[in-house]
Each structure stands twice: as C-alpha cells, then as structure tokens.
Amino acid sequence: MKLCIVTHKVKRGDGQGRVNYEVAKEAIHRGHHLTLLASEIAPELENDSQVNWIKIPVNGYPTELIRNFIFAKKSADLLKKSRGIDLVKVNGAISMAAADVNAVHFVHSSWLRSPVHISRNRRDLYGLYQWLFTALNARWEKQAFQTAKVVVAVSEKVAQELVDIGVPRSRIRVIVNGVDLQEFAPGTASHQKLGLPENVTLALFAGDIRTPRKNLDTVLHALVKVPDLHLVVVGNTEGSPFPQLAASLGLTERVHFVGYRRDIAEIMRAVDLFVFPSRYEACTLVLLEALASGLPVITATATGGAELVTPECGVVLPNSDDADALAAALLSLVSDGSANAKGERILMQQMGQAARSVAEQHSWTTMAQTYVDLFEELSNAEHRSHPDLSPSSRSLPLPFGATGAN
C-alpha cells in the first residue's frame, strides 16, 4: 500500500507528531511505502528507503494561522498532482485537500464554545487573534470532516463533539493516543535530586499554568481543605497568576512550582497521585503517562481520555469547578489509614496497580497497529469495490526546487 500522511511534524517529543511517528513506523514495519508531507520529520524516517519526504517549509511566516494556511494550501496542491497514492491520512483542517482518514486531536468548534476560551479572558488584540484562529479552524475542519471516509477521534469526548457538529457516528472510529510504557513506569526517584520535599504525600499537576483552562485554581482551592497534602506543579510560571494565588491562600509551603520540566517521567515516580481536572481537553497525553506511571488519577469529564479512568484506578468528577468534590476525592486517598509493611497506603497502591493495567492496553504500538489495521481495511475494501484498478508504482512528485531532505 502507498500511504500518504499529511502533518506538520512526524517525530518524538511532539504530541500529534509522536502519534504520526508511531503510525509511520508501524506502516514501514508492515512493508508499506510512505509519502510524508510535513515540515519536519525524525532523522530515522528521513533516511528510510520506504519513505519519501516532501518538505513543506513554513517557518518564515509570522503567525501560526498564516503558517497553517500556507501549509494547507501547499499540501493540497501537491496532493492534486499526485497519482498512485492508495490512502491519505490528515489531521483536522491541516490540508485543503480531501482525505480518506482524518484523525481529530482537537475540535475547534467545541473549544470556541468553551467558557475558558482565551478570547473570553483576554479582551485585547491577542484575544481577538485567538478567536479568529479558532473560528476559522472550526469552519475549515467541518469541511474536512465531511469529505473524509473515516474520522478518527482520539477520545470518546472528541467522538461526541464530532457528532455534535454533524459528523455521522457511523463514520467515527475512536483510537486513543498511546503512551511509552518503558519511559513512564512505576518506580522510585530521589526527592532531593528533583528538588521535592521528603516524607510528605505529594500530588502532581502538570500543564500550561498561564491560563485558567487546565484549572489549577480549583485544585489550589481544594488543597486548602486537604492539610496533609503537598502539590507539585509542573509548568512555566512566567506570566502565571497561580503562584500569587497559592500565596494568597496560605499554600506557599505546600505548593511547589518547579517550572517547565523535561524529566516529567522521573517526577511521576516521586509523587503519590496525579490530579488534573482540566476544564477543556481533547485527549491529554499526560493523563495516560500518569496511569502508566502507576499513579491514582483524579480528573473530570471535561478532560478527554477521562473514560480510561475507572473507579479502580481513580476518580472522575462530573464538574471540573467543584472544589468541594475535588477536596473530598483527595481526602479519600490521603486520609486512607491502612498501610502495608513498607508504610505505603494500601488504597493508593491498589489504585496505582490498576492504573498501570489500564495504561498497558494503550501502548504506542497498540495505537499504531490499530491505525494501520484501519488503513489496510479501507484499502482492501476499495480494491474489492474496484477489482480492475490496480495501484501503479507512481509517487508524489517533488515540487520545483524541493528535495526529500533538509
């Protein structure tokens, strides 16, 4: 099969880019040939004989909106000239061309309606830009979803949001993002090395803390009612209002802002539980990473991927903003008096084991295999419908002046 993936990045270290990287590796493993229309790809893909990378550079343009528009136009022009591609996979409104499979990591129509959309909190030029960016993407993505044969939702929440904007449920498949089960695994870590306090119960919150979307404010208000719990906050504090809020609530000694960190897997091995009642999330990778690390999880229904959190491994709150309910959930874990011979709380230990079991069902390999199974299913169905049409050996032409590498 000749498969074309259209996306900005195909590499590790980038959420959507990692998904496409794993899908590309699985497709190569099965012997399929890939054309990647992307701005950046991993070196090992660039050097693979089964991969034809057509680079679409957009870095010189001033805003993300313009860069995305240029990428969408250029990728569509290339696809119109293509011949012999058996299946095209895109992500949202990333291209103006029609695709067979559209993987949806974010529904802009739903985000635009969210009470925590940036334009509702920033009544300035930046807020206007964010409104325009979301509104245009909401319009473009509806058109993209209508032309796709299959629309893949990365969570049940996203699937429902797609139904809400008119995508037939019969055309939607749910494929949850994956997690690296080796990088994120239960274990222990040095508190001193990580700059964390010793001999206290630690909850972890991780995400962008410069806006109210991730909902750190409700976590801090709940923490006031849980005096035996400390909170580690991973996120860039520059321009964030939350260090000041923590101080005003008298939480300075119990809330540890550690900034943006790349050693999140190590931090997860040093804490006792993960709390993330986000006000809007399509499918957050950090939730899966916490489950894989064997952490009990407290989240909310507004957080995509919350359907993975069972009563055996965590708590899903119906209302992200209910600080009392969040405090009660935290207390139910922290106040558990039963402990094993090592002094570990039995309830949290059992929930952590259940969390790991859930994560083991969602490895990157499992996710990638599910995507490629879908591609092969669609390709085989197309061949059965048109048995006289055999795919040729042609590939996408390189645009004038472009090469397949940097």
Q: How many CB atoms lie within 10 A of CB 229?
A: 22
Residue 400 has what pLDDT? Answer: 30
Q: Could you tell me the residue ranges of all domains in the chain?
A: 2-178+363-385, 191-359
CB 52 within 8 A of CB 34: yes
C-alpha–C-alpha distance, residues 142 and 87, integer Å = 20
Residues of the chain above pLDDT 90, percent: 85
CB 2 within 8 A of CB 33: yes
Average pLDDT over residues 20-43: 97
Average pLDDT over residues 193-219: 95
Same fold: 2-178+363-385 with 191-359: yes
CB 105 within 8 A of CB 283: yes
Residue 83 has what pLDDT? Answer: 77
Q: Which class would CATH give 191-359?
A: alpha beta
C-alpha–C-alpha distance, residues 178 and 65, integer Å = 28
- Give the strand order in the sheet containing 297-300: 255-259, 229-234, 201-206, 273-276, 297-300, 314-317
Q: What would the pLDDT profile of 334-365 be if each residue is shown by its tens digit?
A: 987 555 555 567 889 999 999 999 999 999 99
CB 77 within 8 A of CB 100: no
CATH 3.30.450.20 for domain 2-178+363-385: no
Residue 387 has what pLDDT? Answer: 56
Average pLDDT over residues 253-262: 96
Residue 282 has what pLDDT? Answer: 85
* CB proximity list for 87: less than 8 A, separation 6 or greater: 1, 2, 3, 4, 100, 101, 375, 378, 379
Per the listing, tokens 């957080």 go with 303
Count helices and strands in the chain by DSSP H and E runs? 15, 15
Alpha helix (H) residue ranges in 4-155:
15-29, 43-46, 64-81, 108-113, 118-121, 125-147
Average pLDDT over residues 110-135: 94
Judged on CB neighbours under 10 Å (0-12, 13-18, 19+), 145 is: buried
Q: Which DSSP string do the residues of 166-182 spell out, in sequence order?
A: T--GGGEEE----B-TT
Confidence category of residue 15, pLDDT binned at 50, 70, 90 = confident
Q: What is the mean pLDDT of the chain?
A: 91
Return the higher-pLDDT residue of 83 and 373.
Answer: 373
- Number of residues in the chain: 406
| pTM of the full structure | 0.89
